[in-house]
Each structure stands twice: as structure tokens, then as C-alpha cells.
Amino acid sequence: MQSWEDKSEIEITFLGGLGEVGMNCFTLETEKEFFMIDCGVLFSDLEPFSVDVACPNFGLIHDKMPKFSGIILTHGHEDHIGALPYAVQSGLEVPLYASPFTAHLIREKLRGFGLENSVEIHVFRPGDTLKFESISIQTIPINHSIIEACSFVMRTPAGVVVHTSDFRIDDHPEIGSRLDSKAFEKVGNEGVRLLLADSTNIENPDRNPSESELLPQLEALFLNQKSMTLFTLFSSNIGRVSQLFRLAEKHGKKVALCGRGVETYIKYARESGYLASIDSCLVSIDQLESYRRKDRVVLVTGSQGEYRSVLARVAMREHPLIHLEAGDRVVYSSKPIPGNEVEIGRVINRLFQQGIEVLYRRTPLLHVSGHATRPELKEMHDWVRPQHFTPVHGEHRHLFLHRQLAVERGMRDDQVSVVKNGDCIHVTPSDVWVEQRFEDTRWLIDSTMRIPVSRDLVKKRRRLGESGLVTVVFPMDSKRGKLLSSVEIRIAGLLEDPEEAIEALKTRVQRVYQRQIKGNSFQFDALSHNVRLDIRRYFKDWINRKPEVQCIMVEI
């Protein structure tokens, strides 16, 4: 373990969340202790190769176990807690700290991996201060698209570090109160050594409308509801769920839930003391049948076009319990996460084809963001007035634009560090500097095996999927210990009718073989290598494909 020359120094190392939207995770290390703040996944575009998510490479920090005091979670979104099972599975069996609602979500997640008894979960109330040996963490409740989200004020030997995590400023949130600006101002007066702040929504120049501003538009939908209505939303958005239930009750509608996401989040919100008064209009999906079609409302999963989600199956007319008719309505009270537009569009098109009315555009206003826009970020900077600033949570352009904002607010260039995953920020009471610590901080997770897989394996899967497999079998005379010159070739997943190619390849392989046995030091590995190169060159020249090639020796 490294020696700690300056006992007041702290190190903050980013394992994810920079240059990407997702996988939020960084570590904070003091001389005596090691912490992780958030532990999220990044949804992957490698799904066709069985890689649904990426998560931080926890192997990089296993040597910190002797001083690892815990993982502290700011809120329950997947990009903040989704990687916990992989962390625990990898051996990081350390205490977790979370709010009551977040703790429920974490337990459910760990249960899915059979890991619920592997770690202790300590529950804090938003507003509490967590005290550790070398630091304390004051949690400040903030506004976000999930309940019980917190910013952290970390009092460390190097000074105060404020981490906003995901936040927005909502003057009239559906649940909870307006973000407590006084708390941030107070910390600002104390003197903030370093601010880490959410950057995702920096491109938006306008203040976010309040969650309560959705109410008239949503109410209009209930007022003129002529047939069954399906709402799809981010299941974790309990504030939105609460609004929909309030309106349903007011207008005499019955609401059913359909889909694991909505059911789970609502169940845990209720167990955490929210949504207490929804029973008057909540019915099971079977009971819904007994009400007039125009009084039926269903909250369904699938706002992102997910392949097996309820809404996708409804659109395919494959859902066993929900059958839409022409004139029914589907409302997207959500926005597409970048990258999901094609899948969402596919579902919407199918619904339109069936005569369903689909509301999915920005007007009327049916969704507001949970992330601070430029004017809200400015307010945060004005409250906190940090000595040093690092933008976090965002793609590269978001981080650079956020840097610009800080400079516009009066910070000098040398007071702002835009860093990348793997970088470590050293902070002392008098200095801040950045060092590149790790090159690659990402693990790709195989969705079926639920374990990390290497980039090489994924590359191989991609090649197999795109260009198929050529297998070359070399028979060997086991008595004489010599390879026979006749080879067997199989081609899978590349050509409709591979016979002709197989004959051509046999001749080529023979040629490579003959060349090889003329050499003095014949080795099967070298033969395989040259055969692989030759076959791939053949297909590249012919059909611009480079198949995976495997060579096998069989004793006969």
C-alpha cells in the first residue's frame, strides 16, 4: 500500500461517469480509509453480443480492502446502484450506506444475485450526517426524478468536498420540498475545497419546469379520456406516479400496474412511507376488466422501447393481459434516453398502425427532466463558490461546457479540472493536482452469466455474429506422429451454399501446409496461424468478410 506523506491529502479517483452518461462511481481515499461513492452501471450498446451493461472494474481497487470503510449511495437510479451486485460478487463485501427507499432497491438487487446476506446495509435519512474515522458525510436532500436523492458534503482532512450528484431545482416538487439552497450557501460560507457537480443537462439553456407544472396537461388527459389509457414513464419516478394517482382519484379512474419495474418501485415507495393514499383507485390488472373502458388506466413499463417490456408486447399484440383497441391511448410521460430512439419509434409505429392514439412528443408537456439545466447549475455554483471545480456525470461535451460555465462565473482556468475515467484528483488544503491512475476502468458484463467478460471475447462474438466461423480439421496419424495432408473444412453462418468455397479453401490450406512442412521447425501453432491468416484474406478479398477461423488437430 502506498505511503501517505501528507496526512491531510485525499485522493478522488473516478471509475466511471466521465465522458459517458452512466456508471457513476468514484472513490475517496484518506490516509486511514477508503470509500466509494455510488456504484452504477452503464447501459451498453453491445446487447447483441450478450453484454447488457458495463460497470466499473472493481479489480482495480481490491488492494484497498484493508481500509475500505463503505460504499455510500446518493440515490437509487441504476446508474448509481446498478453495479453493486458485481462489486460484491467481485469480493468487495463492504458496508453499504443508503436512504430507506434506496436500501430497499439495493436489497432487491442483491437478492437477485443471492447476495443479500453478503453485506450490511446501513440506512440513513436524507439530511443525516454519517461519521467515519477520517471524514464525515452530511447528506442534503435535493430534487431529482427519484425520491430520497441526496447531495453529499464530505468534510475531509483536505477540506470540504461537495458532490451534488444528480439534482435539479424544483420550486414545487410533488414529493418533498424545494432543494434547500440555504444548506448549500452555508457550506459555501464554510469554504469548499472542491465541487463535483452533475453536468448531464448543461446544454439546456432554460430552467426546468417544475414537476407540478405537468399537472394541468396530465389532468386534461384524464378529463377527456374516452377509452383505456396506458401511461409509460420511468418506473422510479415516484413523484410522477403520485401525480397520476391523485388525478385518477379525482376523476374516478381505476389504475392498475403492469410490469416488474413499476410494481417494484411502487411497492418499495409504499414500504418507505410514500404513496399512502393510492389504495382507493389501485386495482389489479384482472379487476380492471369490470370497469368501463374510459375509466381504465394502466401504468406500464417500456418507455424506452425495451424489447420484452409490457408496452412492447402490447404493441406486438402479444401481451396476455392487456389488449388495446382502436381509440385507446398510450401516453409517454418520459423522454427517450439517447440511443433508444429507434426501439421506441418501432413501438410507437406499431401502436399507430392499430389505431391507438399515442402522445409522445414534447407538447403537451408530459415530462420534465430530473437534471439541473444551465441556470440551475449557475445557482449551485453561486451557492457553493468552490475553490476548485470538477464537472462530473456527463459526456465529454457536457463536461467541457460545464467547465466553461464555471469560468464564466469567475473561476480561473487553473481552478477547474476536466478529468476522465481513471484519473485521480489529489487534494490537500493548499493544492489540487490530477494524475492519470488507471487506463481502462470498465468491465463489460455478460447478461446471461452475469460476470465480467473481456473485450477480446466480445470482439470474437461480434466477428462470429457478423462473419461466421470456419473450422479446419487436420487429421494426424497418431502412429507415425505425422499430420495427414487431407483436411476437413466446415463453414457456419457465412454463406448460403458453402460447398464451392470449401473446395477452394482445401486447395489453399494444402498449399499453406506444403509450404509449412518444408520448413525445418514445423509446429501446429504456426500452421494454424498461417491458415487462419490465409482463410481470412481469402474471404476479405472475395466478400469483404473476415470470419473467425479455428484449426483443430484430430488424432486418427
Q: Which residues bind Zn ion (CB under 5 A)?
A: 77, 166
DSSP strands (E only) in 74-157: 96-98, 121-123, 129-131, 136-141, 150-156
Residue 134 or 201 with smaller CB distance to Zn ion: 201
Q: Considering the complex, state which of residue 198 and residue 548 has its C-beta at the smaller distance from Zn ion.
A: 198
Query: Sheet of 442-446: strands edge to edge?
Result: 42-43, 51-56, 442-446, 452-453
Which ranges in 432-553 belong to alpha helices (H)? Answer: 455-467, 499-518, 524-543
3-state secondary structure (DSSP) of residue 143 = strand
Minimum CB distance to Zn ion smaller for 166 or for 548: 166
* Residue whose C-alpha cell reads 382507493 in the numeric block: 280
d(CA 470, CA 379): 61
CB of 238 to Zn ion, least distance (A): 13
Report yes or no: 50 and 448 within 8 Å, Cβ to Cβ: yes
Asked if 30 contacts 57 with a C-beta cutoff of 8 angstroms, the reply is no
Write out the H or E segment, with its range, that includes residue 255: strand 254-258
Which candidate, 187, 146, 148, 142, places its Cα nearest to that of 169?
A: 142
Supply the minimum distance, in Å, between the C-beta of residue 82 and Zn ion: 11
Question: Looking at beta carbons only, is 166 or 328 nearer to Zn ion?
Answer: 166
| Burial of 228 from C-beta contacts in 10 A (0-12 / 13-18 / 19+) | buried
Write the burial class of residue 113 (CB in 10 Å: 0-12 exposed, 13-18 middle, 19+ buried).
Answer: middle
Q: How far is the CB of 162 from Zn ion (least distance, A)?
A: 17
**C-beta closer to Zn ion: residue 236 or 242:** 236
Question: Smallest gap, in angstroms, from Cβ of residue 280 to Zn ion?
Answer: 30
Residue 505, all three cell numbers = 479453401
Assigned C-alpha cell, 383 = 451557492
| 95, 117 contact by CB (below 8 A) | no
| C-alpha span between 194 and 33 (Å, rounded) | 19
Between 49 and 167, whose beta carbon lies closer to Zn ion? 167
CB of 143 to Zn ion, least distance (A): 11
Residue 347's Cβ-count burial label (10 Å; 0-12, 13-18, 19+) is: buried
**Cβ at position 38, least distance to Zn ion in Å:** 9
Nearest CB to Zn ion, comparing residues 11 and 166? 166
Side-chain half-sphere CA neighbours of 261 within 13 A? 22
**List of E strands, 318-428:** 329-333, 357-359, 389-392, 423-427
Nearer to Zn ion, 77 or 403 (CB): 77
**Nearer to Zn ion (CB atom), residue 36 or residue 509:** 36
Question: What residue spans of 445-523 are helical by DSSP H?
Answer: 455-467, 499-518
- Closest by CA to 16, choosing from 44, 33, 39, is 39
* Closest CB to Zn ion among residues 77, 163: 77
Q: CA 511 to CA 531: how far, in whole Å?
A: 10
Q: How far is the CB of 167 from Zn ion (least distance, A)?
A: 9
User: Backbone phi, then psi, for 298, in 5-degree steps?
Assistant: -130, 130
- What is the closest distance, in whole angstroms, from the C-beta atom of residue 145 to Zn ion in the complex? 6
Least Å from the CB of residue 24 to Zn ion: 8
Name the minimum Å distance from CB 239 to Zn ion: 13
User: Comparing C-alpha atoms, which of 179, 174, 109 is closest to residue 150?
Assistant: 179
Query: To the nearest whole angstrom, how small is the minimum distance from the Cβ of residue 40 to Zn ion?
Result: 9
Nearer to Zn ion by C-beta: 78 or 548? 78
d(CA 331, CA 231): 5
Pick between residue 89 and residue 102 the one whose CB is nearest to Zn ion.
102
Question: Among residues 166 and 211, whose Cβ is nearest to Zn ion?
Answer: 166
Which three three-digit cell numbers place residue 408? 464564466
CB 136 to Zn ion: min, Å: 24
CB of 149 to Zn ion, least distance (A): 7
